[in-house]
Amino acid sequence: MKKALVVIPTYNERENITRIVPAVFQQSEDVHVLIIEDGSPDGTADLVREMMPQFEGRLFMEERKGKLGLGTAYLHAFQWALARHYDFVFEMDADFSHDPKDLPRLYEACAEGGADLAVGSRYVTGVNVVNWPMGRVLMSYFASKYVKTVTGLPVNDATAGFKCYRRRVLEHIPLDKIRFVGYAFQIEMKFKTWKYGFKIHEVPVIFTDRTHGKSKMSSGIFKEAFFGVISMKINSIFKKYPRYES
């Protein structure tokens, strides 16, 4: 995976971080990892620092003061990646809900398959979720159906957070205009990628719920996504999206 950066936001991921980083590096000798660390009180940052000599020149960390939101973490990482000339930028969770072994498949969809954004999709071939309560499975599945119905976005897993962007997508989208900070950020980025004319490809993956640590999902995050989709659609009616031209 040449010139590829895997971005992993962390907050209290002490139980996962020393396992996920080596697992990512096992997928390719060329891939780099950037941890966006939001002041975890459990010492996650200390563990990353301890690993850095082992993966010198491949493992990086940006520390922020406090829990500032998933969206702002990725936006910070995107700017960091663009400044360092990476051609492919991944989004990935620290808790193994996203299988590191799927990273090469997402990369290939972009590098060889013509996609500008590859989405690790739970719902493109049915429902591929393990260890989630049925209520959460249904909420996630129908949330994606809701997004597709309201916005027209041709993606089956609109809230997916396992993705690979080509550099040109992040250069073309005005990142300073991204509004949402929670899981609605994932929807907004896919929506704008599509509206600006980029090609999105869904790669089927199996999502396995975390076995260590605590989920960051909350009712506030869900509300942001639910009402944000409506405002996003309304705003898009009055906005022009200059399509990318290679």
Q: What percent of the chain is modeled with pLDDT above 70?
A: 93
pLDDT at position 215 over 60: no
- 18-74 pLDDT, tens digit per residue, is 999 999 999 999 999 999 999 999 999 999 999 999 999 999 999 998 888 889 999
Contact residues for 86 (Cβ-Cβ < 8 A; gap 6+): 3, 4, 5, 32, 167
Three-class secondary structure assignment of the chain: CCCEEEEEEECCCHHHHHHHHHHHHCCCCCCEEEEEECCCCCCHHHHHHHHCCCCCCCEEEEECCCCCCHHHHHHHHHHHHHHCCCCEEEECCCCCCCCHHHHHHHHHHHHCCCCCEEEEECCCCCCCEECCCHHHHHHHHHHHHHHHHHHCCCCCCCCCCCEEEEHHHHHHCCHHHCCCCCCHHHHHHHHHHHHCCCCEEEEECCEECCCCCCCCCCHHHHHHHHHHHHHHHHHHHCCCCCCCCC
CB 131 within 8 A of CB 122: no
Mean pLDDT of 150-179: 93
Q: Could you tell me the pLDDT band of residue 1, with boundaries at 50, 70 and 90?
A: confident
Q: Could you tell me the pLDDT band of residue 173, with boundaries at 50, 70 and 90?
A: very high
CB 76 within 8 A of CB 62: yes
Mean pLDDT of 170-198: 92
- 120-143 pLDDT, tens digit per residue, is 998 887 777 776 677 777 777 778
CA distance 163 to 179: 19
